[in-house]
Structure 1
Amino acid sequence: MDEDWPTHGWPAAAYGQEKAYVERALDVFERDHSGIRVVRLRPGFVFKREAATEQRRLFGGPFLPNALIRRGLIPVVPDHPLLRLQAVHAADVGQAYRLAVTRQVTGAFNIAADPVIDPRTLADLLDARLVRVPAALLRGALAAAWRMRLVPTAPDLLDMVLRVPLMDTTRARAELGWTPEHTAVDAVRELLEGIRTGADADPPPLAAETSGPARTREFSSGVGKRP
């Protein structure tokens, strides 16, 4: 879908609600400040090696061993036709922002690299086999793990992922002049390698020390849904 796709998000997921709120805030700002150039970038999942610890905290939680994320150790990847995402390397997103600032463009731009990351792509990256899984079973397993406080990812987020449209990035390439230097597979591979090695960076959201010794701060702040 191009940039005209409705931006109300998936209302049941907090993540989608937050994105929709930002869009509405920009709508109001653009209406009230017609003399200011407003550019909106809508990236896919943004990955890089140094973000690995943060991404593991957000989606995997404290129980996920870093060493498990290597080829051959994860035996299967769930296969569902709507279980797919678009990714982009953080360096390419930075380039898109630079272009948005320095070029006289306005409006929204979808930002994502090729190819679309689907279960087959993940299976190839992990040297795992695909197992077809119905959406209801996927959601049920995630919901159970979330309610048991084993993972920080709510099942509503899976509902959103299964409904997110694939973005057309033609406008970003043609009008913004943006061309990613990394493929989506490069970005995901770098993230997986970063998780395996415990890669991080100095800012607190990215730093491993933010988790505390043996990830104690992650446990003390609560994992998943509290009873």
Structure 2
Amino acid sequence: MRVVIVGASGNVGTALLRRLHAEPDLEITGVVRRPPEPTGPYANVTWHPIDVGADDATDRLAEVVRGADAVVNLAWQIQPSHDQRRLYRTNVLGSRAVFRAAIRAGVPALVHASSVGVYAAGPKRAFVRETWLRTGIPESSYSRHKALVERMLDEIESDHPTLRIVRLRPGLIFQRDAGTEIARYFAGPLLPGSLLRFGRIPVVPRNPGLRMQAVHADDVADAYLRVLRADVRGAFNIAAGPVLDADVLGRAFHGVPVPVPGLLLEGAAALTWQLRLQPVDRGWVRLALKAPLMSCDRAAADLGWRPETDAVNALRELLAGIAGHAHTESPPMADDARLPGRWGGLLRGRLPGTGNPY
């Protein structure tokens, strides 16, 4: 079975490669903008350097995916948040290029990395199924792009009914090796990461909207493998328990929950983002406050999927990775101190939320 993974060297891609390497009957092809050194999880992969947002991406991708049994599209940019045109180019136009290439090459299965961010605002004390409204959270460009791409898939499903299309919609995805990457993309150089080595978060913001779901990257990878092996279609919510809120985090990390109004959280994010102090704009806070909680019953029933790591331990592993500067040798997950989001980058004028880290 030949599987082509587009965006194979990031957080989920790295975990998926680790999982697929344990399957002796799989031949793996990776597509990324900058191929990693073929060591560790990146070994035994046929790499192709392609920028999915480039004008010739569809033609080049079609040649790579021809003859594949499945294409998994993981390509997505979180940063640079101050360059919305670049994000749209990769996330929306790049996804379109992957889809068009798969159709042109006659690939029988297309698996796309969607997200809880595709959903409209929803409940924080109940769990929505995959049929929940998919209009995204308008203030978040990440959410808008996820919703746009899923609408593309709706049209493709209508026009190409024989193409098996699957969408995975995970919550926050954590693993130790992504510690440096996630710190760069979501916190910036001012995060006192070394303080996290003691497994403590001194102050935890409490807000009724700050109830989120997370999942370990290895469990997400297992879900992708199950999708590749099973004859399933449609969407699957992917998350582990418990729901992460101020009470759960306070107990787990010895922190004190402090009530914080949502408007204050959004305003602080907007101001510090505009000042280039950190890379997360107001839209990310709005998404955290408004995104619904997801039911994963379909993944359990149709895929037999159940997470092996709970959400608290997944987060604990991530925080240890941030404190220990955990990373891999792939460009998105590198420990290069000169990149935006690191002190070395800041000293070189590479401000958080700028530049292309992929």
Query: Structure 1: 5+ residue runs without aligned partners?
Result: none
Question: Could you say which residue in structure 1 is the equivalent of 2:350?
Answer: 221
Paired with 1:152 and 1:75, the residues of 2 have a C-alpha distance of 22
Match of 2:296 among 163, 166, 169: 169
* CA apart distance, 1:217: 3.2
Moved over 6 A (4+): none
Paired with 2:353 and 2:334, the residues of 1 have a C-alpha distance of 21
**Kindly tell me: are residues 119 and 70 of structure 1, through their superposed partners in 2, closer, same or farther at Cα, counting changes over 3 Å?**
farther
Paired with 2:186 and 2:258, the residues of 1 have a C-alpha distance of 21
* CA apart distance, 1:128: 1.4
Once the two structures are superposed, residues 72-128 of structure 1 have per-residue CA deviations (whole angstroms, 9 ceiling, x without a partner) of 764311111111211000111011001101111111000001111111222233311
Match of 1:119 among 246, 251, 263: 246
* CA apart distance, 1:211: 4.1
Helix, strand or coil at the partner of 1:39:
strand
Paired with 2:299 and 2:200, the residues of 1 have a C-alpha distance of 38
Once the two structures are superposed, residues 6-48 of structure 1 have per-residue CA deviations (whole angstroms, 9 ceiling, x without a partner) of 1110112111012112211211221221111111110111110
* CA apart distance, 1:168: 0.5
Paired with 2:170 and 2:338, the residues of 1 have a C-alpha distance of 27
Question: Could you say which residue in structure 1 is the equivalent of 2:216?
Answer: 89
**Kindly tell me: are residues 74 and 171 of structure 1, through their superposed partners in 2, closer, same or farther at Cα, counting changes over 3 Å?**
closer
Paired with 1:60 and 1:78, the residues of 2 have a C-alpha distance of 16
Q: Between the two proteins, what is the percent identity of the paired residues?
A: 46
Between 60-69 and 1-10, the greater mean CA deviation after superposition:
60-69
Q: Choose between structure 1 and 2 for higher RCO, CA contacts under 8 A separated by at least 6 residues.
A: 1
Q: Is the 8 A contact 1:70 1:126 kept in 2?
A: no
Is residue 143 of structure 2 the alignment partner of residue 16 of structure 1?
A: yes
Paired with 2:149 and 2:305, the residues of 1 have a C-alpha distance of 23
Aligned length: 225
Paired with 1:72 and 1:190, the residues of 2 have a C-alpha distance of 10
Helix, strand or coil at the partner of 2:240:
coil
Paired with 1:121 and 1:70, the residues of 2 have a C-alpha distance of 19
Between 49-58 and 206-215, the greater mean CA deviation after superposition:
206-215
Helix, strand or coil at the partner of 1:46:
strand
Q: Which has the higher helix share?
A: 1
Paired with 1:135 and 1:63, the residues of 2 have a C-alpha distance of 22
Helix, strand or coil at the partner of 1:139:
helix
Q: Is the 8 A contact 1:103 1:176 kept in 2?
A: yes
Give runs of aligned pairs for residues 51-130 of structure 1, distance below 5 A. Answer: 51-71=178-198, 74-130=201-257
Instruction: Report the TM-score, using the length of structure 2 for normalisation.
Output: 0.60
* CA apart distance, 1:223: 2.2
Paired with 1:13 and 1:142, the residues of 2 have a C-alpha distance of 13
The letter of the residue matching 2:352 is V
Helix, strand or coil at the partner of 2:181:
helix
Paired with 1:98 and 1:143, the residues of 2 have a C-alpha distance of 39
Paired with 1:186 and 1:144, the residues of 2 have a C-alpha distance of 32
Question: Could you say which residue in structure 2 is the equivalent of 1:146?
Answer: 273
Question: Could you say which residue in structure 2 is the equivalent of 1:199?
Answer: 326
The letter of the residue matching 1:223 is P
Paired with 1:216 and 1:32, the residues of 2 have a C-alpha distance of 49
Paired with 2:147 and 2:326, the residues of 1 have a C-alpha distance of 31
